[in-house]
Structure formats: C-alpha cells, structure tokens
Chain A
Amino acid sequence: MTTANLSPVPLMPDSPLYADYFKGLRDGRLVAEICTGCGQLQWPPRELCGHCQSSTFEPVDVPTEGVVYTYSVMYRAFHRAFADKLPYGVVVVEVADGVRFIGRYAGPDPESLECGQRMEAVFDDLGPESGSVAWRRVEDPAPASR
C-alpha cells in the first residue's frame, strides 16, 4: 500500500504545460493554448506547435458549453477516490470545431449519457484542490445553489 493511493484524487498537475489550464479552472474559465507563430489553437498543450513548430503559446478562453463527442460510464472504480461515486460518468465535450475537453460528469443520471447531448462546464465539483473540469447537461434542472 503506497500513500499515493490515499490521496483524495489521483491528481498530478505537475507540468508547466498545464499551468494556464489549471489557473483557468480556478477562475471558472476553460483555457486552451493558441500558437503565436501561426494562430492555430492547440489542445492538449504540447511543447511544439504541430503546424509551425513554434514553441510560444498564449492562453485563450474557449466556450464553456459544448456537445458530448464521446463518454463512458464506470461501474468499477480504478482508484479509491472514485469508489463511493459509482456509477459515474466521464464525458468528452467538443466546445469548438475539433476542440474537445475531457472531464467528469457532475449531473444526475450518468447512465443516460449519450453522444450529442449539450453540456456546460462546472468548476466546483471536487473542491478547490481539484484540477478536473466537470460537466452537467444543459437540459437538466440547475443544481440547488450552495
């Protein structure tokens, strides 16, 4: 048994490539990178732009609503942090043409997830220490305010 297994979420936001993304989540924004060399949007972040090989990027806000491109529903946990959340959903949401963000599904009834459903980002699902964007269905009733 290692202590790593006991952390609340299996989170390793350890890469400077993701600094803008995690800062955005804390501010309630969804942030990708834009290449200053060619203007191409890049996600996920990488050292080099695959179009022009530039290595300078600037953060850029992307829409916080989109459509489910694909998804999954888990009936088994592969980490203790998720053992009491079963079944839970993971969604890949397309927020702009070809730009997709993976995140935890935070709305009701994950077993009814389907491709094509409209989603909006929520930024509070696992607390301030979390780096996971989460999503809820636009059509579902808004959750009670906290």
Chain B
Amino acid sequence: MVATLTDKAYIAGVAETEYVRGTPKSERQLILEASAAACRDAGIDPSTVDGIVMAWKDVPTNEDFIAALGIKDLRFHSHVHIGGASPVAAVVQAAAAIAASLATRVLVPTGHNWFSRPVRLSSMEQTPGGVGNVPGAEIRNNLENPAGLLAAMQWYSLHANRWFHETKADPAGMETVALTTRRHAHLNSKAYMRDRELTSDQYRASPVLVKPFHLFDICLETDGAAAVLVVSEEEARHMNGRAVAIAGGAEGHAECPDDLSTRPNILDMGITKAASRAFDMAGVRHDDIDFAEIYDCFTFIVLRQLEEMGFCDRGEASDFVSGGRIALGGDMPVNTHGGLLSQAHGIGMNHVIEAVIQLRGEAGPAQVEDAHIGLVTGYGDFSDGSVVILHN
C-alpha cells in the first residue's frame, strides 16, 4: 500500500507582510515578522513551534528563528531549494515531518525583496551568476550568458516558443490569464494592482520585452514575506476551527532539471510527474477541484501547468481558459487573489495563503462559492514543479 499524508496535517495559520515596492526592512526581518504573525493567526505562542521548513531562502537560519520567536525546542528543520516550487513543496515536506511524528507545529516561511534587491531581474545590470540560487551555474556562465541569455524571462521564452511551434497553441490564452488575474486583484485589498485597471488594448499595446512576452505577461517585482503554520491533526482539533486539511501533495523534476535547451522534450515539466502523484494521494480528480492557485511568474506558465496537470491536452489550455472558466464565477477560478502577476511576488506562498483563505470562507468579494477542494501549484528554476491539494 502507498503511504499517504491525507489529513495527517493541517494549515492552521497564515500571514503575509504588506507587499510593497521599497522597504527599509531586511528580508530576514520581514520573514521573521510573517512567521510570528502566522503563529498568532493560528492562536499559538511562537515559542512552541517545533519545526521549520524554510522555502527557497537560506536566511533566516534556524538559529535566527529560535532567537526571534523564542523557540524552546526545535526538533526538525530543513531548506527547500527549487525556486518558486519551494513553498508548496515545503508545505508537503512539513506535512511529511508531522506524519512521521518528527514535529507537530511546523512553520513554512519565505520572502524576498524583489524590488529592493541590488539588481532587479528586469534590469540591464545582470551579472554572471548574479541571479542567485539558480541551478546549473556553469551552464549559465559558460553557454547562456555569452549568448546574451541572462534573465528568467529569457530562459522561459525558450519553452514558450517551442510550445507555440509544436502545438500551434493560441497565444490568446496568455491575455486571458493576464486580464482575468488583474480583475481578481481588484477584489483583494492586499494586491499591489488592486486599483490599476488592465484592458485588452493596454495589454496588446504593451511592449514585448522578450518574444513572446508582453510586459503584462510577466510577474511583479515586489518586496515582502509570507508564512504558514502546518500542524498535526491532533493540534488542529484544539485550535480555532479554521484549520484546512492537506489532502495530498508532491514535487517533481523534469529530465535535465538544470537546463531547458538540452532537455529531451522542453515541454516536460516537474509538474508533469508531480500532479498525478498529488491527485492520487488526495483521492480526487480534476473535476473535483473547486478553484486553483497556479504559480504565475508568466502567463504562459499558467497555461502550461494546466496542460501538464491534465486539465486539458498540450496546446489546448487557451481553449480551456476561455469563456470565463478561470474567472470568479466560472467552473474553476484561478488565482483568485491576483497571483504573482497582479497581487505580488510572494514566491507562491501567497497562492498557498489564498487557498487557505478561500477554504476558510474568508475571501470576501473574491470568495469562491461552495469552495471545498483547492489546488495550489509551484513552479521554479528550470521547470521544477510542486502541487498541494487542500480541503476544508
């Protein structure tokens, strides 16, 4: 029999700092503040946390957490380094640690000052190896950088352009994702773009930075941090009744996970492998998903993940997202908070948090009706993938 994490762990607390462009606070301070706030949201004393799974970043260290939160007995900690796939994978790892009785109250924090970092990913000042924490540094430095390929939007364009060639996918789906997500952000008081309209004309008139990405196909660069607290079933029973159960989850890695150019099939992604594992563990099917929060560093990667998860065939995601299906009120609303594209770049922890808020029924004007099962994805580095399925 396959071991399962189903309903062994719950997300009992969530918190995020303000998402801003420009902050005097260090990433460490922001992440520690979000972590303490997640404990308060769950109604527990931060000093009783006994596990930490740090998503993506190396700092804060476990020592920093112990000092800042007054943790008395840290029994488990780890770091997950798969870029934007890290937060969801870290939630699954926290659930696994709890299922294995290694810990009972596990913080999963992340954060990044994308806007205030010395070199923004959108700037002309990239330096070899300067992105940081990216795998395959020798491939980047020796093969890609000299050819003028230095930034994330350039890497992922290689995937997008092959996808268009091979499947004749309709690029209109990218606009659908951009505009739908922006409309959702208008309903979210924490969204950086809550007050800024985006019309079809504006989208189409925006410059192409790297083919095929218009400006509005590319996510925001904001500063901020976020954290969730994962607890055992027994702990959840004694908490505030707002805990959301983890039904299943998984991570996945494509062949050649450090290089898109030489991957046998560039359309293969980590989520191609991870999705069926997560669905099987959760015991649910695609039709059961009430809403999905899908990692959206680029509009096209939302479409690609829908395809690789099996919501539709390769090349057909543009059809899938048409007709309002992914908008609030549609069959499967996607990125109900505004996502990385229009809420903020919370490294996808904002996606986990939004799913919890939806399943608590606390999403206000953006609430999905009868929301019982939500799916969250992560995507990072060169197509690493992660999926978690939550239910209330």
- A residues adjacent to B (C-beta < 8 A): 2, 4-5, 9-15, 17-18, 21-22, 43-44, 69-83, 85, 88, 90, 92, 98-104, 111, 114-116, 126, 130-134
* A72, B210: Cβ atoms closer than 8 Å: yes
Q: Which 9 A-B pairs have the closest CB atoms?
A: A132-B146, A115-B165, A70-B162, A12-B141, A73-B211, A72-B157, A78-B151, A10-B145, A78-B150
Interchain residue pairs with CB less than 8 A apart (20) = A4-B127, A5-B125, A11-B145, A14-B141, A17-B138, A44-B139, A44-B143, A44-B262, A72-B157, A73-B210, A78-B154, A79-B148, A80-B125, A82-B148, A90-B158, A102-B143, A104-B146, A115-B161, A115-B166, A132-B146
What A residues does B161 contact at CB under 8 A? Answer: 70-72, 115
Contact count A vs B, C-beta below 8 Å: 137
Kindly provide the distance from the CB of B14 to the nearest chain A CB, expressed in whole angstroms: 35
What A residues does B128 contact at CB under 8 A? Answer: 4, 10-12
- The CA of A17 and the CA of B142, in the complex, are separated in Å by 10
- Among B127, B129, B151, B262, chain A packs the most CB atoms within 10 A around the CB of B262
* A79, B261: Cβ atoms closer than 8 Å: no
* A102, B144: Cβ atoms closer than 8 Å: yes
What B residues does A43 contact at CB under 8 A? Answer: 262
Nearest-neighbor residue (CB-CB) of B149 within chain A: A90
For residue B367, CB closer than 8 A to chain A, the reply is no
- The CA of A90 and the CA of B150, in the complex, are separated in Å by 11
- The CA of A103 and the CA of B166, in the complex, are separated in Å by 21
* A72, B125: Cβ atoms closer than 8 Å: no
What A residues does B266 contact at CB under 8 A? Answer: 69-70
Given known A-B contacts A80-B124, A83-B124, A102 and B159 have beta carbons under 8 A apart: no
* B148, A104: Cβ atoms closer than 8 Å: yes
- The CA of A104 and the CA of B144, in the complex, are separated in Å by 9
- The CA of A51 and the CA of B173, in the complex, are separated in Å by 39
Cβ-defined partner of B147 (8 Å) among A77, A99, A115, A132: A132
- The CA of A57 and the CA of B113, in the complex, are separated in Å by 42
Kindly provide the distance from the CB of A26 to the nearest chain B CB, expressed in whole angstroms: 14
* A102, B165: Cβ atoms closer than 8 Å: no
For residue B264, CB closer than 8 A to chain A, the reply is yes
* A9, B154: Cβ atoms closer than 8 Å: no
Nearest-neighbor residue (CB-CB) of A43 within chain B: B262
Nearest-neighbor residue (CB-CB) of B157 within chain A: A72
- The CA of A9 and the CA of B144, in the complex, are separated in Å by 11
* B124, A77: Cβ atoms closer than 8 Å: yes
For residue B123, CB closer than 8 A to chain A, the reply is yes
Given known A-B contacts A70-B158, A80-B124, A100 and B147 have beta carbons under 8 A apart: no
Given known A-B contacts A69-B162, A132-B147, A79 and B126 have beta carbons under 8 A apart: yes
For residue B331, CB closer than 8 A to chain A, the reply is no
* A131, B123: Cβ atoms closer than 8 Å: no
* A126, B124: Cβ atoms closer than 8 Å: no
Kindly provide the distance from the CB of A109 to the nearest chain B CB, expressed in whole angstroms: 13
Given known A-B contacts A75-B207, A78-B123, A102-B144, A90 and B162 have beta carbons under 8 A apart: no
- The CA of A20 and the CA of B148, in the complex, are separated in Å by 21
* A81, B148: Cβ atoms closer than 8 Å: yes
* B145, A12: Cβ atoms closer than 8 Å: yes
- The CA of A77 and the CA of B262, in the complex, are separated in Å by 24
Kindly provide the distance from the CB of B162 to the nearest chain A CB, expressed in whole angstroms: 4
What B residues does A17 contact at CB under 8 A? Answer: 138, 142
* B146, A98: Cβ atoms closer than 8 Å: no
* B261, A72: Cβ atoms closer than 8 Å: no
What A residues does B139 contact at CB under 8 A? Answer: 44
For residue B172, CB closer than 8 A to chain A, the reply is no
Nearest-neighbor residue (CB-CB) of A102 within chain B: B261
What A residues does B144 contact at CB under 8 A? Answer: 102
Given known A-B contacts A4-B127, A100-B261, A74 and B162 have beta carbons under 8 A apart: no
- The CA of A5 and the CA of B166, in the complex, are separated in Å by 37
What B residues does A103 contact at CB under 8 A? Answer: 147
Kindly provide the distance from the CB of A106 to the nearest chain B CB, expressed in whole angstroms: 10
Interface residues of B in 143-202 (CB under 8 A from A): 143-151, 154, 157-159, 161-162, 165-166
- The CA of A11 and the CA of B150, in the complex, are separated in Å by 11
- The CA of A24 and the CA of B211, in the complex, are separated in Å by 31
- The CA of A71 and the CA of B158, in the complex, are separated in Å by 6
- Among A22, A79, A114, A126, chain B packs the most CB atoms within 10 A around the CB of A79
What B residues does A92 contact at CB under 8 A? Answer: 158, 261
- The CA of A61 and the CA of B262, in the complex, are separated in Å by 17
- The CA of A98 and the CA of B139, in the complex, are separated in Å by 17
* B146, A76: Cβ atoms closer than 8 Å: no
